A and B are shown apart, each in its own frame.
Chain A
Amino acid sequence: VILWKTCVSGPGKRLLAVTVFTAICAVVGACSEKLNGGNGCPALCPGQVSSISDTIFRLDSFSLVYDTSVYPYPDVGEEPALLLSNAPGVQDVRAVVRFDSVGDSISVLYDSGTTSAVDSTKPITGIDTAVLVLQINPHSVKLGVLNDSIIFTVYDVDVPGLDTGTAALAALFTPANLAGTATFAYDSLADTLKSDTVRIPISPHVVLAHIQNGGDRNLHFGIQVRGAMDGDPVRLWVSNAASGSGPAFFYRARYMNFRESVDSTTISTNSTTPTYPPGFASQLRTFPLFVIGSPPTRPDILDIGGLPARRVYLRFHLPSTIVDSSNVIRATLRLKQIPTPQVFPTDSVAVWPTPVTSTAEVSEPAKAAEFVVASSTWNLDSTLTQPADTGLISLELSGAFRAWHQVIDTVVTRALVLRTLNEGANPVRAAFYSSLAADTSKRPHLEIRYVKQVPLALP
């Protein structure tokens, strides 16, 4: 009879305990699987070859496709900032700021000619000081090499009934309507550590002309900038009314012949006309005037950005075998750039592919191009380009294909908008050949790398 229990001593028992403990530890340690296999491939993986395919579509090869420039964006007065730009003969962007319904009377706090104080409202009879206050974005200030300062010129452009007519408004920027002027050194405007507020003195006579003797009480100032050296370009952004910190107008008014000014007032932008469409007057509190530098669109050119800002609306008609039955891992839109002269040759612009979320009900490109959401929604990123250069730019659209996967085109159109940031304030325009370009090699191409679903057969 084998009786191990009689021949196993203390150390043997300890060995047994260690064995059990080790085994349990090993079991616990194996709780997480590690299946990093594939060492035997390809010898033991004959059926599992790569299922990645590449294909290139020329956009005009689709039976239904839009690639067209649409504009303007955004609506007038809703730009992120007011652009002031001047490159003689090339670009001239001015701004109009409105202070409608300016008060024509002041509260007199005391009457220095009497012994008793009174509190009554009196008509304004004189202006001691009037200043137009503008907030400058220091990062936006750009100047030609010849200049070291910028001249702001302000004109009285108030003509009853004239709201947005660019040519008519531009014609009012004449010496006869000069309201004020001021010169600022570039360093003071572009220095982010210093104040970014500029104060332009306004002629008291211009103000009084509108608030005295039955004036319309509307102050419409047209602003133009230029470099101290003629012919040298200048560009900057001014905060507009939509940004919440728009231009302000400060004045000190007095009544009759009192020696002291009796009231100081700062007013914000205000617009009372036009009355239709509703809300439009508010948009016109501050707005840009694109006088020069807005070339016409052409069907064979895709314009992005510029003045007024343009978008490119792209709607794809893609094979369902790729969009729905496969997973697109990379999709790249290649656009052939047309060199576009720029005021500042080194200007660059980021082209953003932006998701369009409209249904197929919205068939008009300009309308559909308004139904956009943030690019990050579809994990899309921008591509930076220098419009003055030639070459090919690539826009990565795989995130869009993921969003379109197995979503029918009538629910969410397979469409994108190409746009720039700061539309209406950024004058940089990039141009590309469209699908109507005469040279087919220059037309947009869509390069797709996709993974076909491998229907796994039985082993």
Chain B
Amino acid sequence: MKRLFFGVLALVLAGQSVAAQGNVSTLGFGYPPGQLSSRAEGAAGAFGEVDAQSGINPAALSTWGPLGIHFQYDPEFRTVKAFDTTENTTTSRFPVFSAGIPIGHFVVGINASTLLDQTWLVNINTYLPPETNDAYGTTATTTYRSTGGITDLQFGLAWNATPWLAVGAAFHAFTGEQQVLQEVTVTDTVNNRYQPSSYLQTNSYGGEGFSVGFELKPRPFLTLAGSYRGGGSMLIKSGDSTNLAHDPLPARAGGSIMFSGVPGVLIAGRVDWEGWSALNALSTPNPDLVARDGTGWSIGTDIQGPTVAGRVVTLRVGGGRRPLPYMFDGVSIMETDIGGGLGIPFGRGRATLDLSLNHDWRTEVAGVSESAYILSLGLTIRP
């Protein structure tokens, strides 16, 4: 009944859906950066389940080490090709911030990571026919600019139960907002004839969830990890006043295996399932754009590399493929990724600079193809 109410309300309030944003990756509720740290991104996410700075597995907090904080900057350089034209964009993201505090056999962790990024801009040109007495028509440019997204704020606790088992749990608060600025500008040769139009609409998000995970070392050279996030629901408000939707959040589950039998080398494989179809309940029905569940995978390696100025640099490389949340016009959108990176300690081991560069290809839909380079610069400081 509640869902029916919100559904009817959404239809009443609905004008146009902001489902499609002129490119492949930010459809619907946006692009999921993956909640991965720079280190994990360097291996295409293969170490996501066992990486303390990534917001994936609360049990991975057990490997935080000394008290520290981590933050990162991930610009994406995207190329969209459609109808014989190419468009290049740059999107700035700060997708992960995390902190870990070890307390005996426990580690308390805070992690704020971008679940879905809704940064995009669309320009639509419309021919305006001449009005009475006008000699010519003109062109109006309608711009939709969206900023914001949904942030996953985690408060986690990991317990090193034994040398070969760690478990963890986290409470998730999903928060954030999307601001969509609608602007119309008209270029005209006559002064004062046209005025620009501007509307700002804000949707705010609030929700909660939980996650649990484990890290198991059945052998010294083998680590198995798994996690699950679920529960809770998301409340979406328009302008902090009108409830637009109140439905379950997408769940996710994943597992990985990591081999460390060769000194200086880590090799990992990861499988991750995302229950994105839950977004359909939060969305305005749209037969062209449907969220669907999907499973992705990645493999990668982490190798202790050369010594530069007395520092042991870590080299990473990996690749994988994962589903993006939506299928458009019946085509599931996948993202194929290869990446590499560096880890450079400095400050006598009190800080680490992680660099990674990933090249992604996304499934072509409706004649629109898209690829991107995502650069990640992460800094971990242990004061």
Contact = CB atoms under 8 A, between A and B. Distances in A.
Given A40-B82, A48-B142, A16 B20 contact: no
B332 to A, nearest CB: 15
A447 B77 contact: no
A331 B238 CA distance: 31
A450 to B, nearest CB: 8
Contact of A27 (B24, B142, B375): B375
Contact of A330 (B193, B199, B357): B193
A306 B180 CA distance: 51
B132 A334 contact: yes
Contacts of B288: 46
Interface string B281-323: 0111010110000000000000111111000110100000000
B180 A456 contact: yes
Given A8-B305, A392-B133, A451-B184, A44 B126 contact: no
A48 B186 contact: no
B22 A40 contact: yes
Nearest to B236: A458
B23 A39 contact: yes
* Residue among B16, B128, B186, B289 with the highest chain A CB neighbour number at 10 A: B16
A37 B18 CA distance: 14
B160 interface: no
A66 B346 CA distance: 78
Contacts of A453: 15, 182, 199, 201
B16 A454 contact: yes
Contact of B245 (A39, A380, A458): A458
B266 interface: no
Given A13-B306, A36-B87, A47-B20, A402 B195 contact: yes
B174 interface: no
Contact of B377 (A24, A40, A334, A380): A24
A38 to B, nearest CB: 4
Contact of A43 (B201, B245, B366): B366
A379 interface: yes
A46 B245 CA distance: 22
Nearest to A27: B377
B206 interface: no
B14 A457 contact: yes
A244 to B, nearest CB: 32
A398 B342 CA distance: 57
Interface string A375-393: 0000111000000000010
A49 B16 contact: yes
A441 to B, nearest CB: 12
B75 interface: yes
| Residue of B123, B195, B264, B315 contacting most chain A CB atoms (<10 Å) | B195
Contact of B16 (A5, A449, A456): A456
Contacts of A54: 131
Interface string A8-43: 100011001101100110110011111111111111
B27 interface: yes
B21 to A, nearest CB: 7
A3 B264 contact: yes
B131 to A, nearest CB: 5
Contacts of B186: 329-330
B17 A456 contact: yes
A64 interface: no
Contacts of B90: 30, 32-35
B31 to A, nearest CB: 12
Given A36-B87, A37-B87, A23 B303 contact: no
A372 interface: no
A457 B18 contact: yes
Contacts of B182: 51, 451, 453-454, 456
Contacts of B133: 334, 392, 394
Contact of A45 (B20, B194, B197, B307): B20
A114 to B, nearest CB: 75
Interface stretch (B104-112, B114-122, B216-224): B114-122
Interface string B87-109: 11111100000000000000000
Interface string B1-34: 0000000001001111111111110011110000
Given A13-B306, A36-B121, A451-B197, A459 B283 contact: yes
A394 to B, nearest CB: 5
A455 interface: yes
A354 to B, nearest CB: 14
A48 B124 contact: yes
A50 B129 CA distance: 13
Contact of A447 (B132, B145, B306): B132
Interface string A233-273: 00000000000000000000000000000000000000000
Complex A-B, nearest 10 residue pairs according to Cβ-Cβ distance, in ascending order: A30-B75, A35-B121, A457-B14, A327-B197, A8-B306, A39-B87, A5-B307, A43-B366, A455-B15, A47-B17
16 contacts: A4-B303, A19-B342, A30-B92, A39-B83, A43-B82, A44-B20, A44-B21, A46-B19, A47-B18, A48-B20, A51-B16, A52-B126, A52-B184, A456-B182, A456-B201, A457-B13
Given A48-B124, A453-B201, 17 more contacts: A1-B262, A5-B306, A32-B90, A33-B119, A35-B120, A39-B368, A41-B124, A48-B16, A51-B182, A379-B192, A398-B193, A398-B194, A401-B195, A456-B180, A457-B14, A458-B10, A458-B236
Interface of B: 10, 13-24, 27-30, 73, 75, 77, 80-83, 85-92, 119-124, 126, 128, 131-133, 140, 142, 144-145, 180, 182, 184, 186, 190-199, 201, 203, 236, 238, 244-245, 262-265, 279, 282-284, 286, 288-289, 303-308, 312-313, 315, 328, 342, 344, 353, 355, 357, 365-368, 375, 377
Interface of A: 1-5, 7-8, 12-13, 16-17, 19-20, 23-24, 26-27, 30-52, 54, 56, 327-330, 332, 334, 379-381, 392, 394, 396, 398-399, 401-402, 445, 447, 449-451, 453-459
